[in-house]
A and B are shown apart, each in its own frame.
Chain A
Amino acid sequence: MNESAAATVVGYVAESLATYGRDPRHLLQHLIRIQSRFSFVPDAAVEALAEALGVTRTQVRAAIAFYAFLHARPRGAFEIRFSDNITDRMLGNQRLLRLLASRLRLDGLPGWGHDLIRADGRVSIGLASCTGMCDQGPALLVNGQAVTNLDAGRIDRIADLVEEGVALAHWPGELFRVSSNIRRRGLLLSNAATDGAALRRLLDDGAQAALAEVERSGLRGRGGAGFTTALKWRFCREAPGTERYVVCNADEGEPGTFKDRVLLTDYADLVCEGMTVCAGVIGARRGFIYLRGEYRYLLPHLEAVLSRRRGDGLLGRAILGREGFDFDIEIHLGAGAYICGEESALIESLEGKRGVTRKRPPFPVTSGFDDQPTVVNNVETFLAAARVVQWGGYWLRGEGTDQSAGSKILSVSGDCARPGIYEYPFGTPIHQVLTDCGAESVQAVQISGAAGRTLAPADFDRIIAFEDLPTAGSFMVFGQNRDLLDMVRNFAAFFAHESCGFCTPCRVGGALLRNLVEKVAAGQGSEYDLTEMRHIGAVMRRASYCGLGHTAPNHVLDTLDKVPEIYRRRLASQTHTPSFDLDAALSEARALTGRTDSGATLHETMEAMT
C-alpha cells in the first residue's frame, strides 16, 4: 500500500473512532466498517486501531482471522457471497454460482475459506453459511446486502451491474426486496400493534408484578434450549453487580432459520418493548441487539425504530416520564460467525473479541457482558415477554402443552409449496406443519437446523414441544426425490467451517466427519468408515467444549440410524478401504523416475483387495 492510500485508511479509522468512540469493546464494530469501506482491513488500519483502542495488534488480527466477513487481504470492490445452505443448493445455487463466475470471467468455484478474486479487483465471489433467506432462495450477499430469489435473469443483471461498475446504492431496489412470507399467525403474530402498553403495565404494577406474570406464563427461551425466562430474569435481578445488561440474540445463524429476520422487520417495536420491560425488571440501563451481519440491511430500519421510540419516550432517559427508569439499546453487528449465536460467544463478540465460548458457570446472568449480570434472550422470547407483561401470564398459558406454554414460530423451507413463517401452538404434530405448507411425498424433515434432528416419516406424529421435539424454529423439508446425503455433506462442511477451533473434539472431529462423509459420497467408503463416523460423533458429543460441538454430529448420527441406505448404497465392497487412492499416490514418483515396471503400480494389489 502506498503512502496516500495508507493516509486514507488512517483518516477513515480516525473518523470511525470519532463517531463510535475508543472503547476497546467496539473493536469488531470498527473492523466491520473498515472492511465494508476497503473490502479488507488494511495493515495501516490494524496499526491505527491497536494504537487507539489500546489493544494488541495480535488481538486485532485474531478478530480479523476469526470472523468470516473480515479479511486481511483485499476482496473485490463488489464482494459477492452465495448463501450455501442445503436449501439454497436444492434451489439450484450451484448452477447460478457457476453462471455468475463464468459471466464475470472467474475460473473455478469458490470453497469454504477460498474466494475467487478477479485480478482487476473489481469483484470477488465466495460462500456464506445460510443467510436466512431459505424461503426465497437461492440468495447471495453483495457487499453485505441480501439479494434473494436468484435466477439466471438476476444473475445476468448482477453481472452487468458489476461490469458497469454501478455503485450498490444505485442498483435496482427490487434485487434487494425481502419478503416476510408470514403464512400462519398465532398468539404472537396475529397482532403487531404496540403503543407501549407493556411498559405502562410494568410501571403501573411494578417490576415484581411483571416478573410474576412472566413466571405465571411459564415462558421458556425460544432460542432452542428452553430455559425458563422468569428464572433467568430473576437470577439476573438478584445477582450482585454494578451494572446490568439486556442482550437480544439476533444472531440467527442456525441453517434454515429466518423467523427472527421477520420479527425484526415487522415486529421490531415489540421486540424492543420486551427488552425494555426486561430492563425494568432486572434494573438494566443498557441493552444490545446483536444483529447477525447477514441482516445488515435491517440496520437503518432498526435504527429508525429505536429513534422513534426514543422520541415517544419509550427508550432513553426517564422512560414514560418515570424518573430513574433509563434504558437505551445499541445495535452491534456480527460478522459471519455461527458460534456467536451461543450466548457466551455472543457476549465475547459484543466485547469486540473473537467469538469463543466461555466456560460456564458462571452463566451470563451473574457474569455476562463486562462480567456483569446479563440477560441474553432470543428475539422471539422478548416479543413473547412483552405480550405476557401486557396481557398477563394466563394469556400465554391458553395455548401449548404442560411444559411448553404458548406458541412457536417456525421457519419452513425446502420442498414445500408455501415456504415461510408459521406460528403454531406448542403440541402441534409435524404432519400438520407439512400439510399446511404444502409438502407432499416427504422423505425427511430436519428440525431445529443443521444442529437439530433428522425426522423420518415414522416421526411425523411427534409434536413440537420441549417435551418431545424442541426447536429453535428451523424446519427444512426434504422430498422423496432428494438424496439426503447431499444434506449431510452440506451440514458436515458447514460445521467443519464454523467450528471456532478452540477445542479439539469439535475442530478435529468436525473435519474428520466431513472427510469421511466425502469419502463415502465418492463411493470409496466402507462399513469401517461408518463405524468410525459413529465413534467420532460420540466423542464430539461427549467431549466438546460447547453446544456447537455437542450438536455438530447430530445429522450424521441421526441419518446413520434412520436412513442408513443413503450411506450403504455407496459403500465399496470391502470392509475397510484406504483413505486415499493408493495407486494415484505413486504417480509423482513414477513421473520423477520414469518407471513403468510392474513394481511401479498398485493396480493389481488394489484389484486383489476387491
Chain B
Amino acid sequence: MAARIRVATASLCGCFGCHMSLLDIDERFLDLVERVDLDRTPLTDIKTFGDCDLALVEGGVANVENVEVLLEIRRRCKILVAFGACAVNGGIPAMRNQVSLGECLRESYMNGIGLERPGIPNDPEIPLLLDRVHPIHEVVAVDHVLPGCPPSADAIWTFLSALLDGRPIDYAYTQIHYD
C-alpha cells in the first residue's frame, strides 16, 4: 500500500453541489479516509492549505478571492482536478458572460424589484468581481477534469479510486452521459 496522500478541496464560484455529490459516495468514504489525509477542505473547515498531493476544485473563477485561492492551491498541490462543470467550463455562473458586468450589477442592485437602498455594493470585505466568469484552466494549469453537474458519486469514486490505484481513469458510459 502506497503512503497516504494528502487531499485538499475548494469551492470557488459554484454551488457546492459537487462537494455534496462527493459526500454521496457514502460508505466508500470509509475506504477513502484509510488512504488519504484531508487538508484544507470545506469538509474539515481547515482554512489554510498545506502541501498536498491532490486538489479538487469546484466552481469557476468569478472574483478576486477565487483567483487568489486558485493560485494558492495550484502552488500547493501536485495534481489539480477541475471538479464539475463550473470548474471545467464556467457552468451556470458563466451565463452572466452574456451581459456586461455593469448591466448585471445594475439589474441586481439598482433596478431590481423591491430594493430598499439601491446601490452597487462596494464594501472592501466583498471580493471584487471579474468582468467575466472563467473556467479554472484559463487561470492555472489543470491536470484532470472530472465532468458533470454535479459529477455523480459513482463518477467521483471511479475517478478517485483509479487515481489512487494508479490506473487509467475509465468512466462507465452512464457516468458521463447526462440526458
Query: Using a CB-CB cutoff of 8 Å, which residues 99-117 of chain B contact chain A?
Result: 100-102, 105
Whether a CB of chain A sits under 8 angstroms from the CB of B42 is: no
With A589-B131, A590-B128, A592-B101 as known contacts, state yes or no: A528 contacts B141, CB within 8 Å: yes
Whether a CB of chain A sits under 8 angstroms from the CB of B40 is: no
Bitwise interface map of B from 32 to 68 toward A, beta carbon under 8 Å scored 1, else 0: 0000000000000000000000000000000010011
**Across the interface, do A599 and B64 meet the contact criterion of CB distance under 8 Å?**
yes
Closest Cβ–Cβ distance, residue B124 to chain A (whole Å): 4
With A575-B141, A599-B64 as known contacts, state yes or no: A588 contacts B131, CB within 8 Å: yes
Closest Cβ–Cβ distance, residue B98 to chain A (whole Å): 15
Whether a CB of chain B sits under 8 angstroms from the CB of A582 is: yes
Whether a CB of chain A sits under 8 angstroms from the CB of B122 is: yes
**Across the interface, do A595 and B138 meet the contact criterion of CB distance under 8 Å?**
no
Closest Cβ–Cβ distance, residue A601 to chain B (whole Å): 8
In the bound assembly, the distance between CA atoms of A587 and B120 in angstroms comes to 15
Whether a CB of chain A sits under 8 angstroms from the CB of B160 is: no
How many B residues touch the partner, as a band? 20 to 34
In terms of DSSP, what is the predominant structure of the interface of chain B?
mixed
Total A-B contacts with CB atoms under 8 angstroms apart? 62
Q: Which B residues lie within 8 Å of A595 (CB)?
A: 122, 124, 128
Q: Which B residues lie within 8 Å of A600 (CB)?
A: 64, 124, 128
In terms of DSSP, what is the predominant structure of the interface of chain A?
helix
Whether a CB of chain A sits under 8 angstroms from the CB of B15 is: no
Whether a CB of chain A sits under 8 angstroms from the CB of B127 is: yes
In the bound assembly, the distance between CA atoms of A576 and B132 in angstroms comes to 20
Closest Cβ–Cβ distance, residue B132 to chain A (whole Å): 7
Residue of A582, A589, A600 with most partner-chain B CB within 10 A: A589
**Across the interface, do A593 and B128 meet the contact criterion of CB distance under 8 Å?**
yes
Q: Which B residues lie within 8 Å of A585 (CB)?
A: 130-132
Closest Cβ–Cβ distance, residue A2 to chain B (whole Å): 36
**Across the interface, do B130 and A586 meet the contact criterion of CB distance under 8 Å?**
yes
Residue A588 contacts which of B101, B121, B141 (CB distance < 8 angstroms)?
Answer: B101
- 16 of the cross-chain contacts (CB-CB < 8 Å) are A528-B141, A582-B139, A586-B128, A586-B129, A589-B129, A589-B131, A593-B120, A594-B122, A595-B122, A595-B128, A599-B127, A600-B128, A602-B64, A602-B67, A605-B71, A609-B71
Which 7 interchain pairs have the tightest Cβ spacing?
A593-B122, A576-B141, A579-B138, A585-B130, A597-B124, A588-B131, A589-B129
Taking A575-B141, A576-B74, A593-B128 as known contacts, 5 extra A-B pairs with beta carbons closer than 8 A to each other, sorted by chain A number, are A579-B139, A582-B130, A592-B101, A593-B121, A605-B71
